[in-house]
Amino acid sequence: MPLALIILLPLTGACLPALMRGRSSRLLASVSALPAIFTLLLLLSWLPHVMGGGEAEVQRLSWLPSLGLDVAFRLDGLGLLFALLITGIGCLILLYARYYFEGKDTSARFFTLVLLFMAAMLGIVLSENLLFLLVFWELTSLVSFLLIGYHTHDHAARLGARMSLVITGGGGLALLGGVVLLGQAAGSYELSTVLAAGDRIRTHEHYGLMLNLILLGAFTKSAQFPFHLWLPHAMTAPTPVSAYLHSATMVKAGLFLVARLHPALGDTSLWFHLVTLTGMMTLMLGAFVAMFMHDMKGLLAYSTVSHLGLVMLLLGLGTPMAVAAALFHLLCHALFKAPLFMMAGYVDRATGTRDMRKINGMWRFMPALMGLSAISAAAMAGLPLMSGYLSKKMLFGESLQVTAPDWAVVVIPLWVTLAGLFSVAYSIRIFHNVFFNGRPIDLPIWPPASPRAAALSPIALLAFATLLVGLAPEAFYAGLIHPAFAAARQAMVTPFDFTTLGGRVPMLMSLFALAGGALFYHWRDPLFRLHARLPEVDAKEIFDWLMRSAIALSQRRVFQLENGSLQRYLTFIMATVVVLVGLELGDVTRWHGGAALAPIDPLTLLAAVLLCLAAIGVVAFHHYRLPALLLLGVTGLFVTVTFARFSAPDLALTQLMVEVMAVVIMMLALSFLPQTSPRGSTGFRMGRDLAIAVLMGVGVAAFSFAILTRPHRTISDFFLANSVPGGGGTNVVNVILVDFRGFDTLGEITVLGIAALAVFAFTRDLHLKERVVETNPMHWVAEPHPIMLSTVARLVLPIALLVSAYIFLRGHNLPGGGFIAGLITAVALTLQYMAGGLVWAQSRMLTAFRPLIGAGVLIATATGLGSWLFGFPFLTSAHGHLHLPLVGEFELATAMLFDLGVYATVVGSTLLILANLGKLMTVAGPGKEIG
């Protein structure tokens, strides 16, 4: 039977209540119980195997073998004990919630989250891989966050939820670090390997760090001092949540982890000190504070903290039977604490308050609840014959077994006895204060109604189990605890001998605690008064202060760096580039790569100088925008010349056309923007930017020179060799574009089309009337459409179109092709716009630019798809020779069809951009959209 099913059942089952929002809690609870009960049955079916001392069952599914990450589950005694607790108590909680939420509007969220939590918790205890364990660990933190903040409208609930998330989430991060270290030390994240590698891990150089980090995770989760803080504040959750997550299960995840990793990490001096001391502090603090809590759930929360400390203490102790005692107490605690929480929930609902100074004398109203709670409270106090009595005596017995260090031999037995005394006192208190102690005072709800008999069933079942454990501890030990003990030690262990509990000293300690606790409670009034006079140390204040400072600090840092100025960010980015690249370039020792330098001819030198001067001119005149723009055009022309000079006719043609279009577009924009840029930059800023810019230029020049003078290796030989036989064209650049790298080109024309459409969308509702107020309006042209220009333009158009057709057709063999022909067409049509005006041009032109773009991309794609029809890969081209009368023989390639798509897209995009920008400038305003 796959173990994954145990986790998957509640995980998928969690969807059921989510789909049934708004239904009655009865229906929801019944539906949610189904997966939970199935899971429980599955687990019980494993019980014989585990009780019989069977091997740990490990099941794995290969997932990412390269990372050593398998989906792996492990079921052994320890896992089974916890899994049974999780599902068993989970089922009872569902039953309890059915009554608790009765008559409340929405509880579907609760049931979903509880099932989710159950799955996550089962994931922790059944994971074989530590990384998986971590994922489930975080999942429990998240679900716990959602459940604590269940009453989303309640401020205190939100704060409590946040606090628990910060503390347990922070612990989870520490745990992540620890687990990674552990996995590296052990060589694997699989528990089977890790648990067997204890000796290697304990002598590893990072053992201390690893242990600290892992324990930090466990301590935060299990609410150990000083991280216990979140648990009392989590009591804002609905009571079923408190009973389930914050007493019986989730807070035990930390204990589980410590017990689980005990063979790998445990039994060193560091382990003893960290775990035992933390446990001792938590035990005492929780027990002491619990005594003085007036809030029922607060008292139970602190008592939970104290019991968690007790188990932690035992796990650290290192005596032979301490782990068995710890596991036994863990079981007992879950069995008696959950019903006490349930009791508190019912009393809270019936009376409307949780303040024990008001709730008194409930035995009159809820006799049955009183009887059942008596059993649980007695077990918590450790009265004879109860389960808690046995576990407490086991604790006392183990505390006497400690032999080293010296202080511990004396201190620990005294310490646990004193804590035992407190626990007796608070156990008496919650029972006596709630059910006796006179009459109720000022209850918000009067008279309190007793919960229905059926509603008491989960409490009764748990109380019954508590009694059973107390009466037949050997059977429970043999069935559940011993296999878990053996699994936690990863060794053959002798069973715990319950006859040793009869020893004199543990008996005396136990009697002393009982009598002392009773007396303590008897004299509670003066003690309460004394306690009220103690200075109030509220750990929450410290936590809040820490949070506030952390937030304020990070805010200050963020604002220092991020003040909303894009100009500033860009400066930072550029400066970073200069620094980082500069550091790398600093290592270059030989700038000249060795290749022979080509000689400089005067004409090229002149062009280069002019190009540089034009670029510098743009900078120098950038406050006067029109001259700057013209100089920019000059720069572009010299770039064109550069391409032509160095054997790139296709690039030169493209650059030329683009330059014309770009300048026209910027000119259009400029007619609308201010004509000058104000001089506002401080001298410092200009100097700094100049320094960045010059450094950047020097860097670019230096490494360009280094590259240019190094030997040239290229993959282009393939293209040159295959251009004619494979692509059917002699212009290799064009063949690469439409054939070899046709898929890239398809992507590029799509981008082009998208950019054009974005321009269209932006200009559609741009209203120029709200333009920047021009302080010094400038009249651009006296004659908007000079007659000379419009006459010539009309003549030029057919010639230009003919040229563009020629360039297109010859593109496969000589410089040209779809891009260039498209740009030529666009420029020719642009000229018509400029010469005749928008209205004139539009009335004489097809303006379906957007369909044209779409058609272009579709043609190109269809050409590619066409090759599928013939069983070739996408965009395979075919070519052949055609003989037409008159024209003669010429070569026709499917690539030409592809190029047609490119052509259409380029024409459509360019004109769409231009026409829509031009439209903005018309006197009539935006008008209707073009394209």
Partner 1 sequence: MELLYAIMLGVLTSCGVYLLLRARTFTVILGLTLLSHAVNLYLFASGRLVAGAPAIVGLSERSADPLPQALVLTAIVIGFAMTAFVVVLALKAAVELRNDHVDGENPDEDRA
Nearer to partner 1 by Cβ, of 529 and 679: the residue is 679
Contact 232, 292 (CB under 8 A): no
CB of 82 to partner 1, least distance (A): 57
Site residues (CB under 8 A) for partner 1, limited to 822-861: 823
Q: Rounded to whole angstroms, how far apart are CA atoms 338 and 354?
A: 17
The only residue of 558, 700, 799, 878 in contact with partner 1, by rule CB under 8 A = 700
Dihedral angle computed from the Cα positions of residues 472, 477, 480 and 486, in that order, rounded to the nearest 10 degrees: -170
Q: Rounded to whole angstroms, how far apart are CA atoms 534 and 539?
A: 15
Q: Is 609 exposed, middle or buried (0-12, 13-18, 19+ CB in 10 A)?
A: exposed
Any residues with CB less than 8 A from the CB of 890 and at least 6 apart, and which?
Answer: 881, 882, 884
The only residue of 64, 772, 782, 887 in contact with partner 1, by rule CB under 8 A = 772
Q: Rounded to whole angstroms, how far apart are CA atoms 334 and 829?
A: 84
Answer yes or no whether residue 626 interacts with partner 1 by CB under 8 A.
no
Nearer to partner 1 by Cβ, of 427 and 916: the residue is 916
The only residue of 608, 796, 809, 845 in contact with partner 1, by rule CB under 8 A = 608
How distant, in Å, are the alpha carbons of 70, 128, 464 from that of 63?
5, 14, 44
The only residue of 453, 491, 534, 566 in contact with partner 1, by rule CB under 8 A = 566
Q: Rounded to whole angstroms, how far apart are CA atoms 599 and 597?
A: 6
CB of 655 to partner 1, least distance (A): 6
CB of 740 to partner 1, least distance (A): 8
CB of 559 to partner 1, least distance (A): 13
Q: Rounded to whole angstroms, how far apart are CA atoms 602 and 168?
A: 74
Answer yes or no whether residue 899 interacts with partner 1 by CB under 8 A.
no
The only residue of 445, 511, 519, 616 in contact with partner 1, by rule CB under 8 A = 616
Answer yes or no whether residue 639 interacts with partner 1 by CB under 8 A.
yes
- Give the CB-side neighbour count of residue 676, counting CA atoms within 13 A: 10
CB of 204 to partner 1, least distance (A): 49
The DSSP annotation for 65-83 comes to GGGTEEEEEEE-HHHHHHH
Site residues (CB under 8 A) for partner 1, limited to 640-699: 642-643, 645-651, 654-655, 658, 661-662, 665-666, 669-670, 672-674, 677-678, 680-682, 685, 689-690, 692-694, 696-698
Q: Rounded to whole angstroms, how far apart are CA atoms 617 and 639?
A: 15
Q: Rounded to whole angstroms, how far apart are CA atoms 384 and 507?
A: 10
Nearer to partner 1 by Cβ, of 309 and 617: the residue is 617
Binding mask 569-598 for partner 1 (x = CB under 8 A): -xx--x--------------------x-xx
CB of 888 to partner 1, least distance (A): 19
- Going by their DSSP bridges, the two strands 888-893 and 57-64 should be labelled as unpaired
The two three-digit tokens of residue 513, written as one number = 């605690």
CB of 124 to partner 1, least distance (A): 50
Q: Rounded to whole angstroms, how far apart are CA atoms 723 and 98?
A: 77
Nearer to partner 1 by Cβ, of 27 and 574: the residue is 574
718-745 core/surface letters (b: 16 or more CB in 10 A; e: else)? ebeeebeeebbbebbbbbbbbbbebeeb
- Give the CB-side neighbour count of residue 710, counting CA atoms within 13 A: 10
Instruction: Return the range that interacts with partner 1 (CB under 8 A); candidates 104-112, 227-235, 275-283, 562-570.
Output: 562-570
Binding mask 799-818 for partner 1 (x = CB under 8 A): --------------xxx---
CB of 809 to partner 1, least distance (A): 16
Instruction: Return the range that interacts with partner 1 (CB under 8 A); candidates 173-181, 213-221, 619-627, 858-866.
Output: 619-627
Answer yes or no whether residue 629 interacts with partner 1 by CB under 8 A.
yes
The DSSP annotation for 570-582 comes to HHHHHHHHHHHHH
Site residues (CB under 8 A) for partner 1, limited to 421-460: none
The only residue of 736, 831, 853, 859 in contact with partner 1, by rule CB under 8 A = 736
Answer yes or no whether residue 723 interacts with partner 1 by CB under 8 A.
yes
The two three-digit tokens of residue 281, written as one number = 């502090």
The only residue of 83, 284, 514, 756 in contact with partner 1, by rule CB under 8 A = 756
Q: Rounded to whole angstroms, how far apart are CA atoms 275 and 318?
A: 10
Sign (positive/negative) of CA torsion 475, 477, 481, 487? negative
Nearer to partner 1 by Cβ, of 63 and 718: the residue is 718
- Give the CB-side neighbour count of residue 187, counting CA atoms within 13 A: 8
Instruction: Return the range that interacts with partner 1 (CB under 8 A); candidates 161-169, 447-455, 725-733, 788-796.
Output: 725-733
The only residue of 47, 468, 527, 615 in contact with partner 1, by rule CB under 8 A = 615
Nearer to partner 1 by Cβ, of 763 and 825: the residue is 763
CB of 912 to partner 1, least distance (A): 10
The only residue of 286, 636, 811, 836 in contact with partner 1, by rule CB under 8 A = 636
Contact 466, 453 (CB under 8 A): no
Answer yes or no whether residue 923 interacts with partner 1 by CB under 8 A.
no
Site residues (CB under 8 A) for partner 1, limited to 902-921: 906, 909-910, 913, 917, 920
Total binding residues for partner 1 by CB under 8 A?
118
CB of 797 to partner 1, least distance (A): 22
Nearer to partner 1 by Cβ, of 195 and 652: the residue is 652
Site residues (CB under 8 A) for partner 1, limited to 773-802: 773
The only residue of 454, 605, 865, 878 in contact with partner 1, by rule CB under 8 A = 605
Q: Rounded to whole angstroms, how far apart are CA atoms 171 and 257?
A: 13
Nearer to partner 1 by Cβ, of 500 and 730: the residue is 730
Nearer to partner 1 by Cβ, of 571 and 861: the residue is 571
The only residue of 73, 346, 819, 833 in contact with partner 1, by rule CB under 8 A = 819
H or E element that contains 797 = helix 787-810
Nearer to partner 1 by Cβ, of 715 and 869: the residue is 715
Answer yes or no whether residue 180 interacts with partner 1 by CB under 8 A.
no
Any residues with CB less than 8 A from the CB of 645 and at least 6 apart, and which?
Answer: 604, 607
The DSSP annotation for 608-621 comes to HHHHHHHHHHHHHT
Nearer to partner 1 by Cβ, of 521 and 903: the residue is 903
Q: Is 585 exposed, middle or buried (0-12, 13-18, 19+ CB in 10 A)?
A: middle
Any residues with CB less than 8 A from the CB of 620 and at least 6 apart, and which?
Answer: none
C-alpha distance across the termini of the chain, in Å: 65
Q: Rounded to whole angstroms, how far apart are CA atoms 320 and 581?
A: 62
Nearer to partner 1 by Cβ, of 647 and 843: the residue is 647
CB of 597 to partner 1, least distance (A): 5
Residue 558's nearest CA partner among 567, 547, 569 is 569
CB of 658 to partner 1, least distance (A): 5
- Going by their DSSP bridges, the two strands 879-884 and 888-893 should be labelled as antiparallel
Instruction: Return the range that interacts with partner 1 (CB under 8 A); candidates 483-491, 512-520, 766-774, 868-876.
Output: 766-774
Answer yes or no whether residue 485 interacts with partner 1 by CB under 8 A.
no
The only residue of 719, 808, 833, 849 in contact with partner 1, by rule CB under 8 A = 719
Contact 373, 459 (CB under 8 A): yes
CB of 120 to partner 1, least distance (A): 46
CB of 568 to partner 1, least distance (A): 4
H or E element that contains 342 = helix 322-351
Contact 333, 249 (CB under 8 A): no
Site residues (CB under 8 A) for partner 1, limited to 298-357: none
